[in-house]
Amino acid sequence: MKDAQPRVTRLSEYRPPDFLVDTVELRFELGDTSTLVRSRLALRRNPAVDNLDAGLQLNGQGLVLESLSIDGRRLQPGEFRHEDDLLRIASVPAQFVLESEVRIEPHKNTALEGLYRSRGMFCTQCEPEGFRRITFFPDRPDVLARFTTEIVAPREGFPVLLSNGNETARGELPDGRHWVRWEDPFPKPSYLFALVAGDLASLDDSFVTRSGREVALRIFVEAKDLDKCAFGMEALKQSMRWDEEVYGREYDLDIFMIVAVDDFNMGAMENKGLNVFNTSCVLAHQDITTDAGFLRIAGIVAHEYFHNWSGNRVTCRDWFQLSLKEGFTVFRDAQFSADTGASVVRRIENVALLRTAQFAEDGGPMAHPVRPDSYLEINNFYTLTVYEKGAELVRMIRELIGADTFRRGSDLYFERHDGQAVTTEDFVRAMEDASGRDLGQFRLWYTQAGTPHLAFRDDYDPSTGSYRLHVSQSCPPTPGQPYKAPMHIPVRLGLVGSAGEISFASGGGVPATEQVLELTQAESTFVFHGIPERPVPSLLRGFSAPVKSSFDYSSSDLERLMRLDSDGFARWDAGQTLALRVLQARVAGQGAAGADAGLEGAFRALLRDEAADPATVAQMLVLPAETYLGELAELIDPLAIHAARQAERRALAASLRSELLACYRRLAPDADYRVDPDQVGRRSLRNACLHYLSLLGDDECRALAREQYLTAVNMTDRLAALTALVQGDPDPAAGGAPAILRDFEQRWRKEALALNLWFSVQAQRPHADTLDDVRALLSHPDFELRNPNRVRALIGAFCSANAPGFHRVDGAGYRFLGEQVALLDPMNPQVAARLLAPLTRWRRHAPLHAEAMRSTLESLRDLPALSPDCFEVVSKSLAVPGA
Ligand code: TRP
Ligand code: ZN
């Protein structure tokens, strides 16, 4: 809390644990008013630590201690101290058994960390520090123990009792209760512990591993959701096969379970053998799930499954190493998604996320390296930097050492560190050892925060045919890091001539049309010989490094790349650069009345090209996001950016009306709904056309959207139509949006996940008045501040994706967020702190906005009992840079 200022945890202060735990035996007696947790820990001094008389210190938060004993002898009050979330026992033997009994109150747990209740069921979330809310334990990832868990609960209401590992016994008690025992043979850190108890149905299947072992697969949900599990199950089986084929990793228990819970702070959790998922990240059905939702679910199912090796078998030494498991696992799930779908489109989506959200984080007051070196609240470090930029680091290593060598590196890593708790350094060293390459300078990517900038220049000498590319790299200051050393950056390059790719040789290599240049200096020059004409450089193909870059392309250069570049990502990126310039000119007040001629021409060609891949065309038609424009601006004027982007979109829609209509009609559904790349691509382009058309607000386009809404047989098309009517139409009331919104509400009142979409669509209507709608929706009978998905759907969506509403000039949007965070923080600090993200970057905004944002942050800072989570975000946001 605030008066006892939260303590800083530093990587430099890491010490190995004084005590190790060999086995943990837990027994839970679950009850409506309290739960009794008995634990039996076999402890011994860590032989690697030279500290023979260190006392025992265990974490424990909010636990009511009932009894404590060592080797069967009950401890008297003077023999231990229990304060500040720690249990201290001054003198203990070298090896002993510690037994404890504590009481906890899961029904009062609104933070959703530790053991809590969600819609009646009991469930746990222990990563990163939730286990200490369940029992006394060295709650740190470098203490690995073998767990046995017994769960006792009334049979009525809790027929299903689950924990990690294999079920080994069960029985009945005379009082209507029953019990089940689970044993997990793999030593694991406490953050991977899980328990679930409830009245659940399951979809059951099985998988035969490549070595011929049969694994039972079970997805547990409320009975009403049983028809929404098939897609997740398929994704799970695909992931299991993929990890065998691509990484040689086989599953290791006899059973793999997934449980869906409605109240969950994040997406999902990789507990050993018992993954717990946010319902929004596993339940899928075409009636309530969009195409984007399906793809996201497949990616998250894969992500959590892949953690079984990258995270569980090889885990983190401490939480500074979080990217060891998260960066690597995001990289693995992105590879999986690319392999099983439209790879270029997946890459475009990833890059768009990096450029908008991760770059913003890297440029704000919470900027931190992929391996941070200090934190107040570790929950605040489950960030885009650790996850997404962390994945890019793994990707760059693969780019530098090659795919085959990378596989040898990952084999070596898993083999060398199986059963250990290790560091990002161990990961990089395995890659070095497998490749023989020195990644010394590359390690800076783990320790230096901020997004590097690459400035490219070139010159061409027609008389000798030599082409020179000059690059200078720099990286802006970030909190605590005023100066940055040059980094090791892979730049995948092609040269595009007037008729297509030019093949070239550099440094005596074999001629090719592509090469990975390696930057290591602040300034470097690369020379290419035998180039017959002045080429246009295709830089950072596939987004080979997470950087910003600049090169003085002419518009015709960009049009050439869009047409002739062999790299799909680079073609898209050239279009984005073209569009960026148009929008930046508009923001600066230099916009023409109509659409930009270059963009209009490019879009017209795309819409008419019936041979082009619809999914890619759909991506190319999306103008760069407002947040990316803000990120690249000197000073962010969110309203001017929104207005410019909106004006360009309207102008494009007006000029391309007939092409948009033709494309929309051409792509009408011609088969039953399926989630395959072809259908997903067609729907995405058709709905992109519908959205452009809706901006015109004319009767024909409105009728089209209403018709699509009413006849849709899947949520993708239904939601796209609703979004067009609510958010696209300049006058939603005239277009019929209110009636359609009522229809949607009636239809989906009972489906929480669909209703979340309904809240979000309204929260994102780009208008200053939306704030009033959002306030009204807070009193909707189905709005609940205790449910994180609802909070994110309404408050989160409004504050992060509605510039005209959130950034109102009167500051009411900022004050609204401040009020809601103040209400939520005492209940669920983790979710409250995340909601604050849009305010953290106040210094980058134009003064009018910056002042109002700051004053909201100040009012939060002055609250009497701010959580450490929000305190960290607020205080770092208000801190003077460089001071
Ligand atoms: N390890 C989880 C993942 O797969 C992240 C996670 C789930 C988490 N729930 C959490 C992190 C709660 C912190 C708190 O990425
Ligand atoms: Zn993860």
pLDDT in tens, 637-675: 999 999 999 999 999 999 999 999 999 999 999 999 999
In terms of DSSP H, where are the helices of 766-846? 770-778, 788-791, 797-800, 803-806, 812-824, 829-835, 837-840
Return the exposure string of 201-226: e unless at least 16 CB atoms fall within 10 Å of the residue's CB, then b.
ebbebebeeeeeeebebbbbbbeebb
Determine the distance from the C-alpha atom of residue 519 to the mean position of all C-alpha atoms in its chain, rounded to a whole number: 29
Mean pLDDT across the stretch 685-706?
A: 98
**Mean pLDDT lowest among 41-55, 164-178, 291-305, 810-824:** 41-55
Q: Distances in Å between the alpha carbon of 355 and those of 316, 518, 628?
A: 28, 22, 6
Following DSSP, what letter does each residue of 112-164 receive, concatenated? Answer: --EEEEETTEEEEE-TTTTGGGTS-B--STT--EEEEEEEEEETTT--EEEES
Give the residue, by CA position, lying nearest to ligand 1 atom 10. Answer: 266
pLDDT score, position 510: 80
Nearest alpha carbon to residue 470 among 521, 505, 508: 521
Between 424-435 and 390-401, two packed helices, what is the crossing angle to 10 degrees? Answer: 10
| Length of the chain in terms of residues written | 883
266 lines ligand 1 (CB under 6 A): yes
Strand-strand pairing, 315-316 and 421-422: parallel
The whole-number pLDDT of residue 593 equals 85
C-alpha–C-alpha distance, residues 183 and 169, integer Å: 9
- Tell me how far apart the alpha carbons of residues 516 and 493 are, in angstroms, rounded to a whole number: 6
Ligand 2 centroid distance, CA of 528 (Å): 42
Query: Degrees (nearest 5) of the Cα angle 654, 655, 659?
Result: 100
Judge whether residue 698 has pLDDT over 50: yes
Closest to 473 (Cα-Cα) out of 491, 486, 492, 490? 486
The residue whose CA has the least distance to atom 5 of ligand 1 is: 269
Judge contact between 343 and 446, C-beta under 8 A.
no
When pLDDT is cut at 50, 70 and 90, the band that residue 1 belongs to is very low
Q: Do residues 217 and 305 make contact, with C-beta atoms less than 8 angstroms apart?
A: no
Amino acid (one-letter) located at 42: A
Residue of the nearest CA to atom 14 in ligand 1?
127
Which ligand does the CA of 330 lie closest to?
Answer: 2
Give me ligand 1 centre to Cα 551, in Å. Answer: 39
> What are phi and psi for residue 399, nearest 5 degrees?
-60, -40
How far is Cα of residue 32 from the mean position of the Cα atoms in its chain?
34
Peptide bond preceding 128: is omega within 30 degrees of 0, i.e. cis?
yes
SS3 assignment, position 733: helix
Dig out the tokens for 219 from the structure. Answer: 């997805």
CA of 443 to the centre of ligand 2 (A): 22
Provide the β-strand partners of residue 497: 500
Rounded to the nearest angstrom, the distance between the alpha carbon of 873 and the centre of ligand 2 is 22
Of the residues 123, 127, 132, 315, which should be mutated to test ligand 1's pocket, given the most ligand atoms within 8 Å of the CB?
A: 127
User: Residue range 25-35: average pLDDT?
Assistant: 98
More confident residue, 504 or 877: 877
263 touches ligand 1 (CB under 6 Å):
no
Mutate to test the pocket of ligand 1, among 124, 125, 315 (most ligand atoms within 8 A of CB): 125
- 801 Cα to the center of ligand 1, angstroms: 23
Q: What are the strands of the beta sheet with 466-474, ordered from one edge?
A: 523-528, 466-474, 453-461, 548-550
Q: Is the CB of 129 under 6 A from ligand 1?
A: no
Band (508; pLDDT cuts 50, 70, 90): low
Q: Identify the pLDDT of residue 507.
A: 59
Question: What whole-number distance in Å separates Cα of residue 41 and Cα of residue 426?
Answer: 30
Query: Ligand 2 centroid to 326 CA: how many Å?
Result: 5
What's the rounded Cα separation, in Å, for the pair 691 and 568?
24
544 lines ligand 1 (CB under 6 A): no
Over range 409-432, report the average pLDDT: 98
Query: For residue 495, what are the β-bridge partners?
Result: 502, 537
Q: Report helix, strand or coil for 359.
A: helix
Q: Is the Cβ atom of 127 under 6 angstroms away from ligand 1?
A: yes
Q: Quick check: 692 and 621 in contact, CB under 8 A? A: yes
Nearest Cα neighbor of 623 from 352, 280, 271, 842 is: 352
Tokens matching residue 156: 């009525």
Q: Give the relative orientation of helices 568-587 and 343-353 as an angle to the nearest 10 degrees.
A: 40
Q: Strand, coil or helix: what is 323?
A: helix
Other residues' Cβ atoms within 10 Å of the Cβ of residue 500: 12
Ligand 1 pocket: which of 109, 116, 190, 266 to mutate (most atoms within 8 A of CB)? 266
Please state the φ and ψ torsions of residue 530, each to the nearest 5 degrees: 70, 35
Q: Which tokens sit at 216?
A: 């039972």
Query: How far is it, in rounded angstroms, from Cα 509 to Cα 572?
Result: 29
Spacing, Cα 92 to ligand 2 middle (Å) = 37
**CA nearest neighbour of 140 among 8, 10, 387, 316:** 316
Contact of 860 with 866, CB cutoff 8 Å: yes
Gap between the Cα atoms of 691 and 27, Å rounded: 55
Residue bearing the CA closest to ligand 1, atom 11: 127
Residue 388 near ligand 1, beta carbon < 6 Å:
no
**Distance separating the N- and C-terminal Cα atoms of the chain:** 24
pLDDT (average), residues 529-556: 97
What would the 3-class secondary structure string for 265-305 be? CCCEECCCCEEEEEHHHCCCCCCCCCHHHHHHHHHHHHHHH
Compute the distance from residue 320 Cα to the ligand 1 centre, in Å: 15
At residue 881 the predicted structure's pLDDT band, cuts being 50, 70 and 90, is: confident
The response to whether residue 326 sits with its C-beta less than 6 Å from ligand 1 reads yes
Q: For residue 623, give both structure tokens.
A: 């103008």
Pocket of ligand 1 contains residue 125 by CB under 6 Å: yes
Indicate if ligand 1 lies below 6 Å from the C-beta of 137: no
User: 387 C-alpha vs ligand 2 centroid, how far in Å?
Assistant: 8
CB atoms within 10 A of CB 548: 18
Mean pLDDT of all residues in the chain?
97
Whether pLDDT at 2 is above 50? no
Judge whether 704 and 690 are in contact, CB under 8 Å.
yes
Average pLDDT over residues 821-835: 98
Judged by its nearest atom, the ligand closest to the C-alpha of residue 277 is: 1
Residue nearest to atom 7 of ligand 1 (CA): 269
**Residue 263 parent element (H or E):** none
| Concatenated DSSP letters of 744-780 | HHHHHTT-HHHHHHHHHHHHT--STTHHHHHHHHHTS
User: Which ligand approaches the C-alpha of residue 267 most closely?
Assistant: 1
- CB atoms < 10 A from the CB of 250, how many? 15
Hey, what amino acid is at 449? A
The 8-class DSSP code of residue 314 comes to B
Rounded to whole angstroms, the Cα distance separating 568 from 550 reads 19
Mean pLDDT over 665-692 rounds to 97
* Residue 183 CB contacts under 8 Å (≥ 6 apart), including other chains: 146, 147, 148, 149, 165, 166, 168
- List the beta bridge partners of residue 360: none
Give distance in angstroms: CA of 276 to centre of ligand 1.
10
- Cβ–ligand 1 contact at 268 (below 6 Å): yes
- Tell me the average pLDDT across 168-184: 98
Relative to the CA of 326, which ligand 1 atom is closest?
Answer: 15
Q: What's 634's DSSP letter?
A: S
Please state, in angstroms and rounded to a whole number, the distance separating the CA atoms of residues 412 and 477.
36
- Largest Cα–Cα separation, the chain: 96
**pLDDT higher than 80, residue 398:** yes
d(CA 302, CA 776): 38
Instruction: Report the candidate in 881, 877, 873 with the shortest Cα–Cα distance to residue 380.
Output: 873
Is the shortest distance between the CB of 265 and ligand 1 below 6 Å? yes
What does the alpha-carbon distance between residue 268 and residue 281 come to, in Å, rounded to a whole number?
A: 7
| Dist. CA 279 → ligand 1 center (Å) | 14
269 Cβ inside 6 Å of ligand 1: yes
Centroid of ligand 1 to alpha carbon of 217 (angstroms):
22
Q: Is 304 a catalytic residue?
A: yes
H or E element in which residue 240 lies: helix 230-247
**How far is CA 299 from each of CA 12, 208, 466, 619, 747, rounded to the nearest angstrom?**
35, 21, 45, 19, 28
Q: Which ligand sits nearest to residue 264's alpha carbon? A: 1
Judge if the beta carbon of residue 304 lies within 6 A of ligand 1.
Answer: yes
Of 263, 265, 297, 789, the one to substitute when testing ligand 1's pocket (max ligand atoms within 8 A of C-beta) is 265
Nearest alpha carbon to residue 254 among 184, 329, 171: 184
- Please tell me the pTM assigned to this model: 0.98
Q: Is the CB of 547 under 6 A from ligand 1?
A: no
Contacts of 847 (CB under 8 A, 6+ apart): none
What pairs with residue 275 in β-bridges? 258
Which ligand minimizes its atom distance to the CA of 833?
Answer: 1
Query: What whole-number distance in Å separates Cα of residue 531 and Cα of residue 871?
Result: 58
Q: Which of 379, 382, 834 to mutate to test the pocket of ligand 1 (most atoms within 8 A of CB)?
A: 382
Distance CA 443, CA 425 (A): 8
Test site for ligand 1: of 258, 269, 328, 375, most ligand atoms within 8 A of the Cβ: 269
Ligand 1 and 324: CB distance under 6 A: no
pLDDT at 505: 80
**Please, what is the Cα angle at 176 between 174 and 181, to 5 degrees?**
85
Taking each helix axis from N to C end, the angle separating 770-778 and 752-763, rounded to the nearest 10 degrees, works out to 150
Residue pLDDT, tens place only, 579-615: 999 999 999 999 788 999 999 999 999 999 999 999 9
Q: Report which bound ligand comes closest to the CA of 325.
A: 2
What is the bridge-based pairing of β-strands 489-497 and 536-538? Answer: antiparallel
Q: What are the beta bridge partners of residue 97?
A: 42
Token pair in block for residue 345: 């489109």
Candidates 304, 361, 648, 659; catalytic one: 304
Give me the percent of the chain exceeding a pLDDT of 90: 97
